[in-house]
């Protein structure tokens, strides 16, 4: 099964004062995706400026649609999408 990797980089220079509230809502959204089976992995970036999400069972168009619904998406500096083929 193919995977879509989304690499989200946040604009850390323009973080709003309600950032912790946004994070809580973000966690609810990704938990829902995990429960639905479309999110395989979520990695926080070591620099704490974003995340890497691995989607499964959906195409890149759907992954982009989902990413645009993330609360943190509005704070993005960039998002990169990679189509992957899982070997093992």
pTM for this predicted structure: 0.92
pLDDT in tens, the chain (88 residues): 789 999 999 999 999 999 999 999 999 999 999 999 999 999 999 998 999 999 999 999 999 999 999 999 999 999 999 999 988 8
Give the Cα separation of 72 and 36 in Å (integer): 20
CATH 1.10.760.10 correct for 1-12+37-88: no
Query: C-alpha distances in angstroms, 1 versus 37, 53, 55, 83?
Result: 13, 16, 11, 11
Residue reference for tokens 């989200």 = 8
């Amino acid at each position: 099964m193919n995977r879509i990797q989304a690499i989200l980089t946040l604009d850390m220079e323009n973080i709003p004062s309600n950032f912790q509230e946004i994070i809580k809502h973000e966690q609810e959204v990704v938990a829902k995706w995990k429960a639905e089976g479309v999110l395989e992995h979520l990695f926080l970036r070591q620099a704490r400026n974003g995340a890497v999400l691995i989607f499964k069972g959906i195409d890149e168009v759907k992954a982009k649609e989902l990413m645009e619904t993330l609360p943190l998406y509005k704070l993005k500096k960039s998002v990169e999408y990679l189509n992957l083929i899982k070997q093992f």
